[in-house]
Amino acid sequence: MPKQKTHRGFAKRVKKTATGKLKRNKAYHSHLLSGKSPKEKRRLSKADTIHPSDLKRVKRLVPYL
């Protein structure tokens, strides 16, 4: 069976933490920021981990990460 290919577009958007979790940035923080409250912008600027229920699908996209 051939090797699995890594989804390069997705691999550039996630990083692996020291404990093995996958870290991602939140969406909706690139433009149209004037209509958002400072609290919302602050919340969106922080990184988040990928939810455990999504990990099975994500591991298929980045099998070697």
With contact defined as beta carbons under 8 Å apart, do 63 and 3 qualify?
no
Q: 37-58: per-residue pLDDT in tens?
A: 999 999 999 999 999 999 999 9
Band the pLDDT of 65: cuts 50, 70, 90: confident
pLDDT for position 2: 92
Structural domains in the chain, CATH included, are 8-61 (4.10.410.60)
Maximum C-alpha span of the chain:
51
Q: 25-41: per-residue pLDDT in tens?
A: 999 999 999 999 999 99
* Nearest-angstrom CA–CA distance, 48 and 25: 6
pLDDT for position 1: 87
pLDDT for position 6: 96
pLDDT for position 26: 96
